[in-house]
Structure 1
Amino acid sequence: MSDTELRGDDRIEDGERQLDEDDRLKPEFVDAVLEAVDAGDTDEAKRLVEPLHPADIADLFELTPEDRRAPLAAAVAGLLDGDVFAEMNDYVREQLIDALDARQVADIASELDTDDAVAIIEDMDAEDQREVLRAMEPDDRAAIEEALSYPEESAGRLMQRELIAVPEHWTVGDTIDYLRGHEELTTDFWEVFVVDPAHRPVGTCALSWLLRTPRAVSMSDVMQREQTLIPVDMDQEEVSLRFQKYALISAAVIDGSGRLVGMITVDDIVHIIQEEAGEDALLLSGAGEGDINEPVLDSYKARVRWLIANLFTALLASFIISRFEGTIQRMVALATLMPIVAGVGGNAGTQTLAVTVRAMATNQLTQSNTARAIRREIHVALLNGMTIALVIGTGVGFIFANPMLGGVIAAAMMTNILVAGLAGVLVPVVLERLKADPAVSSSVFVTMTTDSIGFLAFLGLATASGLVG
């Protein structure tokens, strides 16, 4: 037995030990697999990887350095099925897909539900897409081409065509016999859709109801007529909101004429919620997609433009400071205290901005309650401002033995926190009205506002109050 095999046996005895307490692959397991690959021992590499869940195999590739993924893929090629690719990070998947020929990609896509197959094919170059589609079976190709015709991040891209639909005149017995008698039907479903002769959904029947109802009962009598229908062109974020609001497990997707064309299941929505939440958080910081597997140049391009924008906003704040150069020279303490005013105001603005953007993303903030939300943030800002102003004013007045300086910084802090609260809610609201994504550019404008107003209020009040003789 080789050293690699001994090390592998010492480290990994069964599938449970391959994961740590956080369900992450252990570093020693990853090292053991890569050592086997480097030694050319593909049998050992397969033995170690085979017990893993497809999602864990996908994680293994994400944890592997980029230049070692191709040899790993070659070593465990027989284990790389469609389920693994469906779970894989987009950038890692694209890298591996590029190394496969069109027939291999077509075979992988054919194993998957339509939504997962589309996720693999949609990011490919147009020519590569055509080659893969030409290599697929006609039925699979038609379903994927139809999905690709819908807008990105829409219900049409997200839905799967594999579902169970029966006519409303059938009985429960007819439906059960149909499910048992057709092996080609999908096996992953939680409810049966009931349709009229035009294939428009008229109700749904949960599997639990189907199994507990006598065979002679009509489907129209057992089905639930109230249902949530998803238009095929609805944005995936709006789809996820409907699933959350109505606690859905699955939902029918309809085309423009109301015909049933697919369904969306809650497992897909979990991914969407995670993606959208992470995307908004990263956009607020200007960090782009924030994926550690993203190419360096792509990360650079996503981040540098916002750093340049912040540079110009910082220059505006510097210009305001330069107008009070004489005031600062006569009282150096002002230079010491300026960052406090701007920094606390910036944090207050960021807090309000985060709350506002999240409220917009979850449909809590709409045109009907915008005015109320603005009033609420003003009240919060006033309370925060009074508290912070009292603390900083008392502290500065005592430390510098100058009550007037304490009063000036208290008034400036109160002003800046109030402005920060207004900017944090107004900037994203205005950007949304202008059809701009508030998560992308709001932070730049809010930071510019709090820095500029903070310096202007503090230095302006110091000059106007006669604090500096």
Structure 2
Amino acid sequence: MSRETDDLAPVEDDLIPEGRLREDLEDGEDLEDLALGEDYALNPQFAQMVVDALDRGDGERLRSLLDALHPADIADLMGFLSAGDREELLPHLDPEALAEILSELDTEIREDILEHVPSATLAKALGEMDSDDAADVVDDLEADKRAQVLAAMPDLERAAIETSLAYEDETAGRLMQREVVAAPEIWTVGQTIDHLRRESADLPELFFDVYVVGPAHKPVGAAPVSMILRMDRDTPLAQIMEEVTEIPVDMDQEEVAYIFNKYHLISAPVVDADGRLVGQITVDDIVGVIQDETEEDILALAGVSDAGRDAGIVGIVQSRLPWLLMNLITGAVSVTVVGAFQNEIAKLMALAILMPIVSSIGGNAGVQALTVAVRAIAAKELNTANTFRVFLREVAVGMVNGAVVGSLLGAGAWLLWRDPLLSVVVTAAVMANMVVAAVGGICAPIILDRLGRDPAVSSSVIVTFMTDFFGFLALLGIASVVLL
């Protein structure tokens, strides 16, 4: 019985994209054109073809399909395959291809794959990777297998990985690659070029600068490769080198990403506590960090973690349930306001209908202000120098939006109940709750950030509680004074 890929609809065996026959494809159709759609997403039909080849045990066909894919696309393919299919696919990947694929995989899928890769094969694959990527893979291994893999690696490569793993996670030391090109400041362009050609086998796979170092191996500048290639051979490096922005080895990766973005860096040297050059970080590493940090903040705002394509039900429940329970508690506190005004509600049932609307509008406004504040804090655009100005701006926005939305809701209330005082009460309550939403949306993340907490994690719970509580209080409190 033929298996089907996870999350993919079954595909008829005799059909391929655009209605063409499978026999035509077998006779020489361009697999690369069929593999990806116009948006560079993997075609479901192509993934099904891989599964069919696995079912038939057709190794030659499988290799031709894989050869049509970029390593990043093979990593994407792994996410669509079942665990059993992934295990069957692994023996068809040589260590060099496996090395490129491992660095592209989602963490959960990579951990599953690593369990089935022989230690000797994995050791060879790690030897093909940059030290930073290799350290990330080794960090995902169980202790026993990690020892086996490291023992199978050459001493120099093993030492580089162990040194990277000695640094704290999500720091520059873990992010950097130890492979770096350095030259003494007394060298000329000609000497540098000769060195690069002579030591080409040991150079990093990708580098943009030659770091100029002093006697203590401390970077004093950087000579861009593009500049080196333009200069005469007898030009001193000291004459063409540029200033560098040094990255401390213990700096948080989010801070590193901020520096790269602020100064438009392509690469930067990483230095230890004594200022000695120990590695480099390149922009391709930073792109991944920015993506990871952005996804983390977005998920944290909603009180969830990244479920991933292979996440289990238990893990997802554990990540989401605590925040739902916290919302339950804050919601229970909010409804105590309703209980306190139950007599007033009984006298005018319109209040019961309008309460959730006022609360919901305030909640949405709070999330808007909160999102702006969290982004500004992450981008370092919000600090003590402009906090008060931003606070006043958001309060003013809340008042204007509250007046507009409140007036519209008040008009709707008048059309339904023909009570002008009720319209005034609704308008005033919406305006008050929108101001509270603005205050909470700005203040909650700022206070959490000042306390050293992640402002994205629990700010939304605080803001929701504030808008629910004060939304009920404003509507019922004003109504009790004006209407009853």
39, 51, 68: which one aligns with 1:34: 51
Tell me if the contact between 1:37 and 1:75 (Cα under 8 Å) persists in the aligned partners: no
CA contact (8 A) 2:448 2:454 kept: yes
Overall identity of the aligned pairs, in %: 43
Map residues 162-173 of structure 1 onto 2, 5 A cutoff: 162-173=179-190
Question: How many residue pairs are counted as aligned between the two chains?
Answer: 465
SS in 2 for 1:367: coil
- On the 8 A contact 2:35/2:68 being kept in 1, the answer is no
Correspondence for 2:229 among 201, 211, 227? 211
Structure 1 residue 275 and structure 2 residue 292: aligned?
Answer: yes
Aligned to 2:461: 444
- Distance change (3 Å), C-alpha of 1:340 and 1:13: same
Q: Which residue of 2 aligns with 1:9?
A: 26
2:229 alignment partner, SS class = helix
- Deviations along 1:133-182, one digit per CA (max 9) or x if unpaired, are 22211111111111111111000000001111000000000001111112
Partner in structure 2 of residue 397 of structure 1: 414
Q: Work out the CA distance in 2 between the residues paired with 1:44 and 1:298.
A: 37
**Is the counterpart of residue 85 in structure 1 residue 124 in structure 2?**
no
Aligned amino acid, residue 248 of structure 2: P
The CA deviation at 1:85 is 0.7
Task: Give the deviation of 1:100 after TM superposition.
Answer: 1.9
Shift of 1:290: 3.7
Q: Matches of 1:73 and 1:180 in 2, distance apart?
A: 36
Q: Distance in 1 between matches of 2:204 and 2:158?
A: 18
Q: What is the Cα deviation at residue 106 of structure 1? A: 1.6
The unaligned stretches of length 5 or more in structure 1 are: none
Paired residue type of 2:358: V
More deviation in 383-392 or 173-182? 383-392
Partner of 1:455 in structure 2? 472
Q: Distance in 2 between matches of 1:290 and 1:280?
A: 14
| Contact kept in structure 2, 1:8 and 1:32, CA below 8 Å | no
Task: Indicate how the Cα distance of structure 1 residues 12 and 445 shifts in structure 2: closer, same or farther if over 3 A, else same.
Answer: farther
Partner of 2:448 in structure 1?
Answer: 431
CA distance, structure 2, for counterparts of residue 287 and residue 218 of structure 1: 55
Root-mean-square deviation (CA), in Å? Answer: 1.8
User: Is 132-141 or 240-249 further displaced after alignment?
Assistant: 132-141
- Which of 301, 325, 338 is the aligned partner of 1:284? 301
Q: In structure 2, what is the equivalent of residue 314 of structure 1?
A: 331
Q: How does 1:123-134 map to 2 (within 5 A)?
A: 123-134=140-151
Structure 1 residues 117-266: aligned runs within 5 Å: 117-184=134-201, 185-224=203-242, 226-266=243-283
Deviations along 1:81-125, whole A, 9 cap, x unmatched?
Answer: 201111111111110001123222222111100111011111223
Structure 1 partner of 2:37: 20
Partner of 2:124: 107
The residue identity in structure 2 corresponding to 1:186 is P
Q: Residue type of the partner of 1:352?
A: A
Q: Is the 8 A contact 2:257 2:289 kept in 1?
A: yes
Offset at residue 10 of structure 1 (A): 7.6
SS of 2:250's partner is coil
1:336-375 correspondence to structure 2 within 5 Å: 336-375=353-392
Is 1:64 the counterpart of 2:81? The answer is: yes
Q: Secondary structure at the match of 1:248?
A: coil
SS in 2 for 1:435: coil
Q: Is the 8 A contact 1:432 1:438 kept in 2?
A: yes
Length-normalised TM-score, structure 2: 0.92
In 2, distance between residues paired with 1:222 and 1:278? 40
Aligned partner of 1:385 in structure 2 is 402
Cα gap change, 1:121 to 1:342, in 2 (>3 Å): same
Post-superposition shift, 1:285? 0.2
Q: Is the 8 A contact 1:34 1:72 kept in 2?
A: no
**Consecutive unaligned residues in structure 2, runs of 5 or more:** 1-12, 16-21
SS in 2 for 1:212: coil
Give the 3-state SS of the residue equivalent to 1:124 in structure 2.
coil
The normalised TM-score by structure 1 is 0.95
Residue type at the aligned position of 1:266? V
Report the Cα distance in structure 2 between the residues aligned to 1:251 and 1:292, rounded to whole angstroms.
Answer: 34
Compare 97-106 and 253-262 and name the one that shifted more. Answer: 97-106
Give the aligned residue type for 2:48. D
Q: 2: distance between equivalents of 1:7 and 1:63?
A: 25
C-alpha change, 1:290 and 1:372, in structure 2 (3 Å) is farther
Matches of 1:102 and 1:43, distance apart in 2: 25
Distance 1:58 1:12, change over 3 A: farther
Matches of 1:108 and 1:295, distance apart in 2: 28
Is contact 1:169-1:218 (8 Å) kept? yes
CA contact (8 A) 2:302 2:460 kept: yes
Q: In the aligned structure 2, how far is the partner of 1:192 from the partner of 1:289?
A: 38
> In structure 1, what is the Cα distance between the partners aligned to 2:212 and 2:82?
49
Q: Summarize the Cα distance change of 1:26–1:93 in structure 2 as closer, same or farther, 3 Å threshold.
A: same
Q: Would you identify which runs of 4 or more consecutive aligned residues in structure 1 move more than 4 Å? A: 2-5, 75-80
Matched, 1:410 2:427: yes
CA gap of 1:216–1:369, structure 2 versus 1, over 3 A, is same
**Does the C-alpha gap of structure 1 residues 260 and 430 become closer, same or farther in structure 2, counting only changes over 3 Å?**
same
Change (3 A) 1:336 1:186: same
Deviations 1:225-258 (A, max 9, x none): x221111001111100111100111111111000
- Structure 1 residue 8 displacement after superposition: 5.3
Q: Give me the whole-angstrom Cα distance separating, in 2, the residues matched to 1:366 and 1:180.
A: 49
CA contact (8 A) 2:265 2:283 kept: yes
Q: Which moved more, 1:367-376 or 1:3-12?
A: 3-12
Counterpart residue type for residue 64 of structure 1: L
> Contact between 1:230 and 1:251, CA under 8 Å: does it hold in 2?
yes
- Provide the rounded CA distance (Å) in 1 between the counterparts of 2:360 and 2:461: 14
Secondary structure class of the residue paired with 2:408: helix
Instruction: Please tell me whether the aligned partners of residues 283 and 289 of structure 1 are also in contact (alpha carbons under 8 angstroms).
Output: no
